[in-house]
Structure 1
Amino acid sequence: MDANRPGRALAGRDDELRRLAARLSPGAPGEGSVIVVRGQAGIGKSSLLDAALAALTDTVVCRGAGLPDEGAAASRDLLAELRRAGARVSDPDDFAAWYEDFADWAGGRSAIVFAVDDVQWCDEPTVRWLSLLARHSTRLPVRMILVRSAADGPAGAAERLADLESWYGTEVLDLGPLPAEAVASLAREAVGSEPGEAFVRHCVEQSGGNPLLLREMLDELGKVASGIAPVAGSAAGAALIHSLFAGVPDYARTVATAIAVLGGQDLSLVARLAKVPARTAGTAVELLRSQHILAVDGFSFRHDPVRDGLLDALEPAELGRWRRTAAILLSDAAGSPEEVAEHLLELAELDAWMVDLLRDAANAACDRGAPWDALRYLRPAAAARPSDGGLAIQLAETVALLEPDSGFDLLRRALELQQDPVDRARAAVKLGRAALVARRCGTAVTVLDRVLTVLGGEMDQQLRGHLEGLLCLVGIEDRDSLAKLDTRIQPRDEDGPEAVVDARHLAVCAVVAALDGTRPREAAEWAMRAIRGYTPTTDDSAVSSAVLALLLADEVDVARDELTRAVELVPAQRSEYLAFRGLLGHWCGDLATAAADAGQAYALSRRAEGRTGGVVPRIALATVAAQQGDTTKAMKLLREADSPQLWDHTVMRPWFELVDARVHWAAGDREAALKLFQRCGESLADVGIANPLLAPWWFEAACLLADEGRFDDAAELAAEGTEPASRWGTPRAIGMAKLATAVATRGHERVGLIEEAAAILAGSPARLEEALAEFHLGRALVDAGDTAAARTRLRRCVELSLRTGDRFLLRRAQRIAAEAGIPSEVTPLASLSPAERHIARLAGRGASNRVIAERLFVTVRTIETHLTSVYRKLRISGRAELAAVLGHTEERPAVLEGVR
């Protein structure tokens, strides 16, 4: 039902209307091309849309609406409106062909607005079509306004719309309740005189500022004023409940109260709670429906304020009796624990069975992914049993899901309530896991160490090994704890990979061996055994350490698979694991994938208010942005990450300093970059990290010094890194050491040494370093006067840079080639994979996605995914530009240009 009927002004929405007008009018800025208007039922969304569209001039308006029984109705209506407007519309199933026709027509229009009401009822193809239209039309005079209810819609509607609503070009407008001034204006219109303050306050309270409920109330008042409907007392001063139930028999009001308490149930439960026969309850329900108090179907009130008013009319003690009886009836009827718990929450005192039921309700809420509801049940339960250690642990763990820092503090207090040694040790394990999320590792180390010391032999060996392994994992994450735990953390010399069985201990052995930089084979084997020895859904504490060890040992495929598993199975840590996967993508030279993972991690971390895991996503995204040449974005992200949490972090602190140095180098401040590289090395030395690859400051500083012509200083740093790199012994480490030595070398030996380094790096996952080696080799050949060989090497560097997305190195290579007068045969297609290149050529020749999919024996979705990647890599928006790029490319090769 529309909240604002024809002939009535749209009250209280002036700001929203101006905001929409600014976005929808011809010539509005390009950003915010999609506007989503959200709000509860009856809040006035459709009326706002009507008013906004009515104010448009010189605009083609195409309007449709989603229907509950027909998800494609909106797209059909929009296409019909386009045809009426004169557009030549082809088959929308082939979006590329359809969009080409539409773009030709739309380019000659001043403004086009697509408006969809009740978009939550649209099916997936319609939502996908709208999303594609929005993304491809950023250069056209197209605006889109989508209206959706905050609650209504089929299952999965919110997920279908999430991608479109979170797009950077989307602006979301949430409609809230009407302000008191607007309520007063509407009341003045209804009663024909200036309403009193008490009456306006009454209207606000009863309607909740919802225009629909307010209109209903004011209509009833209008009927009373004209004598159409009787009401006891003054309309302006009487409560809504008194007006509605005037003349209604007492038994009917009692049944209505029972329905209000139960929140809608079957008739037998309502009758038992009201203490009336079932037949009498049925008669009362029919009477309440005839008086428009209850909805036509079911046992819900037409307006929520009516239900609230019935409950408010009861004295607190009386309402408590109603609630207690309702809880008992629902429990006896095998109602769900959460359903019963809602009534128990209203009671001042809880019986023993009620506390147990609240705990069951909390478990059910967590199982369905609603820890906020679980907290509502656990808090009164914990207050009723303050000395119950198990209940205190359950409450603390639930709080930690939403606010890790607060949950950690609660776990510390709950630990003191545990009397049994085994329970105390298990609580300490939970504390350690929470510390990894809340970044309270230093405090946790102290607590865990004390538990191990005090309990000693009272724990069984398996639990003790579990706790010791977790203590070491937590200790590794805290810079100040490494020295204290040296004897616990360091694996004994006689401990080969087969001597350790606990997954956490295995992960500790792996990461210690990796950070120590001495045993890559053992580190990888320990890490792989750790991965096989635990389940992320029950305990993911070993993930980060095992993955770091695998990464340093160049076992990148296993590391990626494990991070993907953790991303899917550990929602609470999804942001951090996505960020680690982004860093892994950077490590392997896949910057496009790395940017996607790091960007998603950053978005998740920003939405998770109250959590403290935002450092890793910010550093990951800054790492990729710096490599892609976006120094402004990288610098902003690094400043966001610079916090006390970062400075306590063993691994991320030196990496932060390394990325900060890269950003300063890319921005042209080389002296600052050198100081930051040196600080990175000092940070690693402070905590005893000897692995040369964790944050290879020596390698990058040597390259920078060689660029500056300071070859002696560069050679000194290269020598400093060569010994630990040789000791670690992976192809990446050896190749980087040889490259650092080579760039610091003068004379005829320089070219041969760089060639050797490039060959070694080509056999490793180090794509970025391989491209860098080709760059230095090309530059060295230019200096040696061998332009033909330099051309081959610089071309190879550009190809690798395009594939990886390394814009910083690409610009350097372009500059060197331009200065040497070397053209390149590299085309834009060089950045594409073979599959992407083949699909791009077919699409550029006019083949539809369906035709390409049939020819290649894959799904249409696969083709769409590949083309999206192609558009991103070539920096184009769609097929029209793709055809132009391909035509230009196949006519003649592109020439390497200088930095712009």
Structure 2
Amino acid sequence: MVDPEATSTRPKRAGRSGPKLAGRDPELRWLTARLSTGEPATGELSTGEPGRPPVVLVVRGPVGIGKTSLVEAALAECGAAVVCRTTGTVDGRACQGLLAGLREAGAPVPDPDPRAFESWYAEFAAWAAGQAGVVLVVDDAQWCDEPTLRWLTLLARRATALPLRIVLVRGGVTDPATAETLSDLECWYSTEVLDLGPLPAEAVARLAAEATGPLATRHWVEPSGGNPLLLRVILDELGKVAAGVAPLAGGPVDAGLVRSLFGCFPGYVRAVATAIAVLDGQDLLLVARLAEVPLRTAEAAVEMLRAQHVLVPGGLAFRHDPVRTGLLADLEPGEPARLRRTAAFLLSDAAYPADVVAEQVLELGDLEPWMVDLLRDAANNACERDAPWDAVRFLRPAWVARPNDPGLAVQLAETVAELDPGSGFDLLQRAMELQDDPAERAGTAARLGRPALVAWRCATAVTLVESALSGLPADADPQLRPHLEALVRLVGIEDRTSLAKLGERLRSDADGLPDDHVEAGDLAVRAVIAALEGTEPQQAADWALQAVRGYDVTVDDSAVSAAVLTLLLSDEVDVAHDELTRAVELVPAQRSEYLAFRGLLGHWCGDLTSAAADAERAYALGSRTEGRAGGVVPPIALATVLAERGETGQARRLLVRADTPQMREHTLLRPWFQLVDARVRWAEGDHEAALAEFRRCGESLAEVGIGNPLLAPWWFEAACLLAEDGQYEAAAEFAAQGAEPALRWGTARAVGMARLAAGVAAPPAERAGLLEEATAILAGSPALREDALAELELGRSLVDAGDTAAARARLRRSAELSLRSGNRGLLRRAQQTAAEAGIPGQASPLASLSPAERMTAGLAGKGASNRIIAERLFVTVRTVETHLTSVYRKLRITGRAELAGALGQAAAEPRRWGVAR
């Protein structure tokens, strides 16, 4: 009987006796230690970060594995903690149950309305801090509704300092509507996951011996697989058999007991059962033909098998699969292969799909030529239904049968590349070695691009493609040569050694055909080459815009990164943001990478709130998926945002994870990594190490001939660092290094940053003029962070000059820009400067907005509809409406039409904010 208290939503104090568990001591110690709100757990089975207690604990496993019993036992050890339990449902009752339970425990809980969360949380935190512990348990979390999961996510992220634990108990199948939210929560850095596996063999044997004695324990219990629920079913079945109250009704058996099971049947019954096992429940007519008996005889045999509970009622499936496998295992040597071969012929003659026939062929060792062709057809069918794993299963034995077939090798390689790009690349290389015809070899080389980018085999790919190009005959497909040449550039530009080796070729190819005759991918490469050289921003932007209009990301997204980087460096941030958003929505395989790039774009435009949201989601997705640089870009993007917010410890851990060989060989990620690393060292107070890292960043750019001063503006950061330390002459040297390339590039951001760097390093008499010029230029750029910094430095300079009236206006603008961007560090510096100068503070209405409200208001102020805002922020439309209502009240405006003016973002203002659209 189920304990009613185990499923109640009412709160209870832990400490009652838990269920007795067998074979679960390590898991119980793991869960009990993490439910404790004392010192962080770092012991056995630990998967979290050392020194950080987990907030969310996920216990997952298949049905019947004992998840609930384990949680019950761990809760019994929680002492005086308040425990609230509920069960996940799709109708939202889980959240209502938790809130009701908290209310009964004395917590200040409002009506279950998400709009009341912010005002409620402060009271809840004060209450929870006075408790020995608070544990919220959600059983069947895989069926939990989306609003409840979002509420729990918000609570978990806010409550890292409270004695709160959220326990999610989930099975292996998840509601597709909430799968992504639940997975994101599981990948959060304050979440630890316990995958509950089978019971140990000794525990299974002990339980079986206690229940049945020596009654065939090994033969009957091993098929349970260590699943406690299945084990109980088996033991119950054995008890009935031993007591003589039930027939031998399909408990799991092995080959050794099949003979006794079928001993009471006529021989034709076992033959029919064996045919059913081979055909796996196909048409009874085929079963009769395979068993070599008349159809009526097969029908009689099936009725007998159903009467004895061997087959399910009304079907041709076994009650327990081990009966099926036992039948096949008990066949004479050579008989399984004969039956499989015959079954393949029968299914093929009956016009069954190639996939079904292939399942029989897969069991054979030696394949006939027609079987290889059949497997290739089955693989094509599998690819059409988006099942690459099945396609690989079909193609591998076919390739073993024909290892020197280049066409088969290419088909296998392309299929494998979808699942394992590195292995797919190796197989494509092998296929090229098998091909004698230069045109065919070139066609295979054209397929190297995506696996090379994903598996970081760019240098090898460039060599192979160049080799194919050199041998390409003049009468080959006229589209093949330009495609291969574009591929050399597209792949080579992402690898440091390849970029250096390509050198003049990459530059000279930019002067080929007119733009309207060039493919979109080639235009994107032209654009990024021009942008990296740092000489022609307008030409680079034009090429990138043409590329964006010319490619389809659902067909080929390989040019997205090059086009977006060019647009970003050219101050075309709105188009860059739209293109990344399109890629996020339409290229799910690369979603973590594009979200990370969008987070970097948000940081680039000074919008830390949206940058953090994108970077955190990218990191969560990147923890469980692969993509081109997918394992490197998300942690670097998140570290960039954390470093800006002063969370140096977490940023350092992410940088350590991202410091991989693939990152060190990347043309663009390596200098950016070094820049962020230097920023973290600066924030940690190690100015000497930070300065050295800034210099290494500049050297990395120079090694590959990148002259754009904005890609990783190490000179700007170094000048600001030295000026902060009072080393103005040294700061001026760094500012001078960036001034010339910045003026040559000529965008508002570049010129404004050059003036700002010169201003912070200038003598006091010259400083205010340069800084005022910098603020005027940066105000027309997307550089919100640098604009706020320029206003701050100008305000400080005016304070030093004794002009407090002018300083007040500059410092106020710096504070407003910092609030708009979510940059709390710059805001504190502006407020501190004003306070030290005796300038009274004036709280801006923007200060009262929460980060979520600022993001929502920024998008609404740019004209986005509530539906579009909800899609971009991954919230519901009702949540958007709630945020906007709060914004109108706090800013004292009547509606949407006044938002742009209230936020300082009037439609006539030329400035663009990238992500805050």
Q: TM-score, normalised by structure 1?
A: 0.83
Matched AA of 1:400: A
Q: Pick closer, same or farther for the CA change 1:787–1:339 going to 2, 3 Å.
A: farther
Q: Pick closer, same or farther for the CA change 1:250–1:455 going to 2, 3 Å.
A: same
1:14 to 2:25 alignment = yes
Between 660-669 and 320-329, the greater mean CA deviation after superposition: 320-329
Shift of 1:649: 1.8
1:96 to 2:107 alignment = no
Aligned match of 2:876? 861
2:265 partner SS: coil
Q: Pick closer, same or farther for the CA change 1:351–1:822 going to 2, 3 Å.
A: farther
Shift of 1:761: 0.5
Alignment of 1:704-743 (within 5 A): 704-743=721-760
Q: Is the 8 A contact 1:472 1:508 kept in 2?
A: yes
Shift of 1:763: 0.4
Q: Is the 8 A contact 2:110 2:120 kept in 1?
A: no
1:293 partner SS: coil
Aligned counterpart in structure 2 of residue 176 of structure 1, from 197, 201, 205 = 197
Alignment of 1:262-273 (within 5 A): 262-273=279-290
Describe the superposition over 1:441-499 as per-residue Cα deviations: whole angstroms up to 9, x where unpaired: 22222221111112252433321111111111222222223343233211468658636
Between 478-487 and 602-611, the greater mean CA deviation after superposition: 602-611
Q: Structure 2 CA distance, aligned partners of 1:486 and 1:765?
A: 32
1:173 partner SS: strand
Matched AA of 1:636: R
Aligned counterpart in structure 1 of residue 269 of structure 2, from 252, 261, 271 = 252
Q: Structure 2 CA distance, aligned partners of 1:342 and 1:207?
A: 26
Q: Pick closer, same or farther for the CA change 1:648–1:380 going to 2, 3 Å.
A: same
Aligned match of 1:406? 423
Q: Is the 8 A contact 2:598 2:614 kept in 1?
A: yes
Q: Structure 2 CA distance, aligned partners of 1:326 and 1:252?
A: 18
Shift of 1:88: 10
Q: Is the 8 A contact 1:89 1:98 kept in 2?
A: no
1:693 to 2:710 alignment = yes
Q: Pick closer, same or farther for the CA change 1:515–1:289 going to 2, 3 Å.
A: same
Describe the superposition over 1:637-687 as per-residue Cα deviations: whole angstroms up to 9, x where unpaired: 223333332332222222222222222222222222222222222222222
Shift of 1:124: 4.8
Matched AA of 2:571: D
Matched AA of 1:861: T
Aligned counterpart in structure 2 of residue 481 of structure 1, from 483, 495, 498 = 498
Shift of 1:592: 2.0
Shift of 1:517: 1.3
Aligned match of 1:545? 562
Matched AA of 1:352: P
Between 377-386 and 302-311, the greater mean CA deviation after superposition: 302-311
Q: Is the 8 A contact 1:106 1:112 kept in 2?
A: no
Q: Structure 1 CA distance, aligned partners of 2:153 and 2:648?
A: 30
Between 22-31 and 466-475, the greater mean CA deviation after superposition: 22-31
Q: Is the 8 A contact 2:609 2:851 kept in 1?
A: no
Aligned match of 1:894? none
Shift of 1:784: 1.0
Aligned match of 2:258? 241
Q: Is the 8 A contact 1:660 1:676 kept in 2?
A: yes
1:432 to 2:452 alignment = no
Aligned match of 1:792? 809
Q: Is the 8 A contact 1:470 1:541 kept in 2?
A: no
Q: Is the 8 A contact 1:466 1:504 kept in 2?
A: no
Q: Structure 1 CA distance, aligned partners of 2:297 and 2:353?
A: 27
Aligned counterpart in structure 2 of residue 148 of structure 1, from 154, 165, 170 = 170
1:700 partner SS: helix
Q: Pick closer, same or farther for the CA change 1:122–1:512 going to 2, 3 Å.
A: closer
Q: Pick closer, same or farther for the CA change 1:330–1:75 going to 2, 3 Å.
A: farther
Describe the superposition over 1:63-99 as per-residue Cα deviations: whole angstroms up to 9, x where unpaired: 55568xx866767877887899899998646673899
Aligned match of 1:636? 653
Q: Is the 8 A contact 1:563 1:577 kept in 2?
A: yes
Q: Pick closer, same or farther for the CA change 1:402–1:164 going to 2, 3 Å.
A: same
Q: Structure 2 CA distance, aligned partners of 1:686 and 1:816?
A: 41
Aligned counterpart in structure 1 of residue 304 of structure 2, from 287, 294, 310 = 287
Matched AA of 1:720: Q
Aligned match of 1:888? none
Aligned match of 2:587? 570
1:745 to 2:736 alignment = no
Q: Pick closer, same or farther for the CA change 1:273–1:493 going to 2, 3 Å.
A: closer
Between 474-483 and 496-505, the greater mean CA deviation after superposition: 496-505
Between 634-643 and 101-110, the greater mean CA deviation after superposition: 101-110
Describe the superposition over 1:587-635 as per-residue Cα deviations: whole angstroms up to 9, x where unpaired: 1111222222223333333324798642333322222222121222222
Alignment of 1:675-690 (within 5 A): 675-690=692-707
Q: Pick closer, same or farther for the CA change 1:113–1:617 going to 2, 3 Å.
A: closer
Between 350-359 and 767-776, the greater mean CA deviation after superposition: 350-359
1:463 to 2:500 alignment = no
Aligned match of 1:761? 778
Q: Is the 8 A contact 1:518 1:727 kept in 2?
A: yes
Between 707-716 and 523-532, the greater mean CA deviation after superposition: 707-716
Aligned length: 845
Q: Structure 1 CA distance, aligned partners of 2:634 and 2:563?
A: 19
Matched AA of 2:209: R
Describe the superposition over 1:117-174 as per-residue Cα deviations: whole angstroms up to 9, x where unpaired: 44444555665666667667778776554443324x6665645643454455544332
Aligned counterpart in structure 2 of residue 392 of structure 1, from 397, 409, 414 = 409
Q: Pick closer, same or farther for the CA change 1:192–1:266 going to 2, 3 Å.
A: same
Q: Pick closer, same or farther for the CA change 1:82–1:569 going to 2, 3 Å.
A: closer
Q: Pick closer, same or farther for the CA change 1:89–1:484 going to 2, 3 Å.
A: closer
1:417 to 2:428 alignment = no
Q: Structure 1 CA distance, aligned partners of 2:194 and 2:884?
A: 31
Q: Is the 8 A contact 1:33 1:143 kept in 2?
A: yes
Q: Is the 8 A contact 2:404 2:434 kept in 1?
A: yes
Q: Pick closer, same or farther for the CA change 1:105–1:612 going to 2, 3 Å.
A: closer
Q: Structure 2 CA distance, aligned partners of 1:180 and 1:834?
A: 52
Shift of 1:780: 0.9
1:351 to 2:330 alignment = no
Identity %: 64
Aligned match of 1:594? 611
Describe the superposition over 1:756-803 as per-residue Cα deviations: whole angstroms up to 9, x where unpaired: 111110101111111111121111112212223223222222222232
Q: Pick closer, same or farther for the CA change 1:618–1:10 going to 2, 3 Å.
A: closer
Aligned counterpart in structure 1 of residue 322 of structure 2, from 291, 301, 305 = 305
Q: TM-score, normalised by structure 2?
A: 0.82
2:762 partner SS: coil
Q: Structure 2 CA distance, aligned partners of 1:816 and 1:870?
A: 34
Shift of 1:752: 2.0
Aligned counterpart in structure 2 of residue 37 of structure 1, from 53, 56, 59 = 59
Aligned counterpart in structure 1 of residue 681 of structure 2, from 660, 664, 676 = 664
Shift of 1:690: 1.4
Describe the superposition over 1:36-66 as per-residue Cα deviations: whole angstroms up to 9, x where unpaired: 4332233233444555567777676655556
Describe the superposition over 1:494-535 as per-residue Cα deviations: whole angstroms up to 9, x where unpaired: 658636512232122111111111111111111122222222
Describe the superposition over 1:226-278 as per-residue Cα deviations: whole angstroms up to 9, x where unpaired: 4556779xx99993434543423433333333333233345444444444455
Q: Is the 8 A contact 1:742 1:750 kept in 2?
A: yes
Aligned match of 2:789? 772
Q: Is the 8 A contact 2:831 2:841 kept in 1?
A: no
Q: Structure 1 CA distance, aligned partners of 2:80 and 2:522?
A: 71
Shift of 1:182: 0.5
Q: Structure 1 CA distance, aligned partners of 2:62 and 2:575?
A: 47
Aligned match of 1:189? 210
Aligned match of 2:399? 382
Q: Structure 2 CA distance, aligned partners of 1:55 and 1:663?
A: 41
Q: Structure 2 CA distance, aligned partners of 1:134 and 1:712?
A: 48
Describe the superposition over 1:302-355 as per-residue Cα deviations: whole angstroms up to 9, x where unpaired: 333222222222245222233233334444555444443333221112233332
Q: Is the 8 A contact 1:497 1:522 kept in 2?
A: no
Shift of 1:225: 4.2
Between 580-589 and 298-307, the greater mean CA deviation after superposition: 298-307
Q: Is the 8 A contact 1:106 1:141 kept in 2?
A: no
Q: Structure 1 CA distance, aligned partners of 2:498 and 2:313?
A: 67
